[in-house]
Amino acid sequence: MTETTAEQTETFAPPEQFAADANVKADEYERAEADYLSFWAEQSRELVDWNEDFGEVLDWTNPPFAKWFVGGKLNVAFNCLDRHVIAGNGDRVAINFEGEPGDSRSFTYAQLLAEVSKTANTLTELGVKAGDRVAIYLPMIPEAIISMLACARLGAAHSVVFGGFSSDALRSRIIDAEARVVITADGSYRRTKPTSLKPAVDEALSHGDTPVEHVLVVKRTGQDIDWVDGRDQWWEQSVGQASDQHECEFFDSENPLFILYTSGTTGKPKGILHTTGGYLTQVLYSMKAVFDAKPETDVFWCTADVGWVTGHSYVTYGPLAAGMTQVVYEGTPDTPHQGRWWEIVEKYKVTTLYAAPTAIRTCMKWGEEVPGKYDLTSLRLLGSVGEPINPEAWRWYHRVIGGERCPIVDTWWQTETGAHMIAPLPGVLSTKPGSSQRPIPGISVDVVDDSGENPAGPEGGLLVIRRPWPSMLRGIWKDPERFKETYWSRFEDTYFAGDGARRDDDGDIWFLGRVDDVMNVSGHRLSTAEIESSLVAHPKVTEAAVVGAADETSGQAVVAFVIIANGVEDSPETAEELRQHVGKDIGPIAKPKKVHIVTDLPKTRSGKIMRRLLKDVAENREVGNTMTLADSSVMETIEKSVAKS
Ligand code: ATP
Ligand code: MG
């Protein structure tokens, strides 16, 4: 038995009090399964304020195009703001904003409603109507959330583009969505330096081939920027002068809420479309069931940027619709020092922290004495998202950050799924380091073999989703064929997620990596996640990425790229030691043919490793599309270290 398998039996029961107070109890699984449509209808009526009730729960007469909560009418912004104010919670803090340079601002629900109303009035002035699209290209500042809610209030769809993306990425997204207005800022703070945003917007619009009529500019850094009279307006002026009263309309349950591009980890990003009623229902249900949301007492902090789906569902819509107090932080975890996150947890008494494994591994690398300096006892629940979390990082997160008292919810989901799909219910299940465990109540997933007809064996197979779900994507924007082809053509009436997974003897799900990345070495299927997890469990390694490279003798060969810990020697001996470690830990077949020691790995802005670029390097090809890469110089550095080794 390998070390990795032995660890799978280790579980952590929820603390007694946590289990007793949990919003959702064990019977929920069975109740939901008995009649999943009634279950979702019941959740929706309980959690969402419908202005007009829906009739049919699901219309699936034209698969894969679903309609949920047919005929119902709602306003998502009303659900995030007005209803809390009407219920007497207008004085509750909605957002505690922490800027990277140390500035902070707070908004109560009543204040946030006023800001969103002013912005909605401004957008109306600029000609935005229900059914239009607005592009949002902002840093992580409250105006990003305010802009999204203002669009939702008007029934216009937003398309948020990461502030770190290039003008080309912005331009193609503006054109694809036919956006009429762009909301941006002069710049933002990243690693203490002001970086500029507005010039990228000017560049994106300079070709004259976009439908953009107006650009609304937030002043964040005060840096000098170019100005196009008649097109550009300062947010402070326009929004500042607008009325803070705005009567909202109610829209159909299937009215578009947003278009958002996937992270681009496996290829060209896809423009995913989400609508309102089903999306809000499942996002709210996951707040209640997975995050065990207690709006009166919790302080929620999701560290994701609003530029990816985690920021949409668990910064903007989920926490606010649930009436939570949350923290929003603009910058990086190590500015101005490596304890910044923990300082913020202490300052705001954060109870629920939601972060990506890559960030957790980075904090591990900095050493536990860093978080050790802060009071983290307010925390009661931790979450992980974005990639498989290796057991080593899970245990560190549990012990050092969670003080062994906080359950960890490892949440598997995608831009396409809109909300959590697979995650433990923290008050019900005993959690297992490295496993996302089970679909949430109301969701049905399977792990199947290549034919799709049989359950996969112990070596794993393909993850599929059996039934429509409320927050499912409604399509790829303007491309119904790609929608069908990408997700629904492999198996009939079944959603193909593109991820490899396996179930253990308890039926719990472990993610193995992208199906595209699964390696086939001399006829053995090997998972990237398993080998990476073994590598990072070695004390000399802090980060690892594994790819299968074409090989004459074995079909494919395992090639590993590793970042070593501070003070470890970059030598052929270290590389050899790591090869032997994997061979011993998992088996000789998994032993990497090559281990390249590198100083950085190619990651998306949301922190995912782009293995396809490493595969290009391993196979001596020119590297492919790097548009969504966080730092474009990384690939050159890697090619240099590889050439040298
Ligand atoms: P693209 O689809 O453009 O290649 P992407 O798949 O990285 O990019 P996202 O929608 O941001 O875009 O990411 C979803 C993917 O992230 C999932 O399919 C899965 O591979 C991975 N993922 C997310 N959460 C988890 C998790 N908890 N465990 C394992 N993998 C996860
Ligand atoms: Mg994907």
CA dihedral 290, 330, 143, 632 (to 10 degrees): -100
Task: Report which ligand 1 atom has the smallest distance to the Cα of 513.
Answer: 20
Is the pLDDT at 1 greater than 50, yes or no?
Answer: no
Instruction: Kindly give the distance from the C-alpha atom of residue 170 to the centroid of ligand 2, in angstroms, as a whole number.
Output: 20
Provide long-range contacts, Cβ within 8 A and 24+ apart, for 615-624: 615/547, 615/548, 615/549, 617/642, 618/547, 618/549, 618/559, 618/594, 619/549, 619/550
Two structure tokens written together for 427? 């008050």
Residue nearest to atom 28 of ligand 1 (CA): 388
∠ CA 584-589-595, nearest 5°, is 75
CA–CA distance, 412 with 497 (Å, rounded to integer): 11
CATH number, domain 76-249: 3.40.50.12780
Predicted TM-score (pTM) above 0.90: yes
Protein residues whose CB sits closer than 6 Å to any atom of ligand 1: 262-267, 269, 308-309, 385-388, 410-412, 414-415, 436, 497-499, 511, 514, 606, 608
CA–CA distance, 301 with 345 (Å, rounded to integer): 8
553 vs 119: which has the higher pLDDT: 119
Choose which residue among 260, 262, 394, 436 to substitute to test ligand 1 binding: the one with the highest number of ligand atoms within 8 A of its C-beta: 262
Task: State the pLDDT at residue 629.
Answer: 85
Is the pLDDT at 8 greater than 70, yes or no?
Answer: no
Give the pLDDT confidence of 301-339 residue by residue, as tens digits. 999 999 999 999 999 999 999 999 999 999 999 999 999
CA dihedral 220, 223, 228, 233 (to 10 degrees): 20
Task: State the pLDDT at residue 398.
Answer: 98
Residue nearest to atom 17 of ligand 1 (CA): 414
Confidence of residue 97 (pLDDT cuts 50, 70, 90): very high
Give the pLDDT confidence of 18-46 residue by residue, as tens digits. 999 999 999 999 999 999 999 999 999 99
Task: State the pLDDT at residue 27.
Answer: 97
Residue nearest to atom 16 of ligand 1 (CA): 386
In single-letter form, the type of residue at position 69 comes to F
- Average pLDDT, whole number, for the chain? 95
Residue nearest to atom 31 of ligand 1 (CA): 387
Query: Domain residues of the chain, as ranges?
Result: 76-249, 522-644
CA–CA distance, 419 with 289 (Å, rounded to integer): 12
CB distance 386 to 413 below 8 Å: no
Angle between helices 109-125 and 142-154 in degrees, nearest 10: 60
User: Measured between alpha carbons, how far is residue 518 from residues 165, 178, 513, 597 in Å?
Assistant: 29, 37, 7, 22
Give the pLDDT confidence of 445-475 residue by residue, as tens digits. 999 999 999 999 888 999 999 999 999 999 9
- Which of helix, strand or coil describes residue 237? helix
Per the annotation, binding residues for Mg(2+) are 536, 538, 541
What is the mean predicted confidence (pLDDT) over 410-420?
98
CA–CA distance, 342 with 350 (Å, rounded to integer): 10
Confidence of residue 9 (pLDDT cuts 50, 70, 90): low
How many CB atoms lie under 10 A from the CB of residue 527? 25
Task: Report which ligand 1 atom has the smallest distance to the Cα of 267.
Answer: 4
Confidence of residue 106 (pLDDT cuts 50, 70, 90): very high
Instruction: Kindly give the distance from the C-alpha atom of residue 360 to the centroid of ligand 2, in angstroms, as a whole number.
Output: 22
Q: Phi then psi for 89, rounded to 5 degrees?
A: -105, 25
CATH number, domain 522-644: 3.30.300.30
Task: State the pLDDT at residue 264.
Answer: 86
Per the annotation, binding residues for ATP are 386-388, 410-415, 499, 514, 525
Instruction: Kindly give the distance from the C-alpha atom of residue 386 to the centroid of ligand 1, in angstroms, as a whole number.
Output: 5
Residue nearest to atom 15 of ligand 1 (CA): 414
Residue nearest to atom 30 of ligand 1 (CA): 387
Q: Which ligand is nearest to the CA of 271?
A: 1
Taking Cα atoms as reference points, which of 163, 162, 171, 161 lies closest to residue 206? 171
Share of the chain above pLDDT 70, in %: 99
What is the mean predicted confidence (pLDDT) over 94-112?
97
Task: State the pLDDT at residue 328.
Answer: 98
